[in-house]
Amino acid sequence: MSTPQRDQPTDPVTRSGRPVRDLPRSTRQRRAVVRLLHGCPDFVSARVLYAEAESAGITVGLTTIYRTLHLLESAGHVDVVRDSNGERLYRSRAKEGHSHYVVCRSCGLSLAVESEQVERWAADTATRTGFTEVDHTVELTGVCADCSRPRHGD
């Protein structure tokens, strides 16, 4: 029989059977990754973050970056997209809401776009198809105004 808990249904436990109630430890590396991520205006890959850390004089292993990124992803603190190579790109979630971006194929510029319509559509589609827990990935790519503008003095 089920026990009426207010905890999340996904409540992992350690090998010893102890529930993971503790928040992740606050280590220098994790803070560094988070800070570095906040400093990046656009989506970045784990390896770019690694390079950033290096040039910032911070010693962090690539492994740790990946693991921290996973943590942030699970906690919903970052937006994640995949580039055309299937690489994961992360961006610290600026605002509270879930947002989408239009990315320039030429210069990489990314702009957050209003997506209420899509959110509604996704929710609506869920209902219509009988699906639950519907999550969506929306990626817009194009050529930004600046890059599509013909250049004369170049």
Give me the residues that bind DNA (CB under 7 A), please: 14, 16, 18, 20, 22, 24-30, 45-47, 59-64, 66-68, 70, 85-88
- List 78's β-bridge partners, or say none: 92
Give dist(CA 47, CA 35) in Å, integer. Answer: 15
Give dist(CA 89, CA 44) in Å, integer. Answer: 5
In the complex with DNA, the residue whose CB is nearer, 35 or 144, is 35
Q: Which two tokens stand for residue 25?
A: 């430890």
The helix or strand, by DSSP H or E, that contains position 42, with its residue range, turns out to be none
Taking the complex as a whole, the smallest distance from the CB of residue 106 to its own copies amounts, in Å, to 6
Judged by beta carbon distances under 5 to 8 A according to partner kind, the member of DNA, its own copies, none in contact with residue 38 is none
In the DSSP assignment, the letter for residue 20 is -
Judged by beta carbon distances under 5 to 8 A according to partner kind, the member of DNA, its own copies, none in contact with residue 118 is its own copies
Q: Which two tokens stand for residue 34?
A: 């988070």
Residue 29's identity, in one-letter code, is Q
Whether 110 contacts 42, CB under 8 Å = yes
Stretch that binds its own copies, among 15-23, 36-44, 61-69, 107-115 (CB under 8 A): 107-115
Judged by beta carbon distances under 5 to 8 A according to partner kind, the member of its own copies, DNA, none in contact with residue 131 is its own copies
- Binding-site ranges for its own copies (CB under 8 A): 2, 4, 6-8, 82, 86-88, 102, 104-106, 111, 113-115, 117-118, 120-122, 125-126, 128-145, 147-148, 150-151, 154
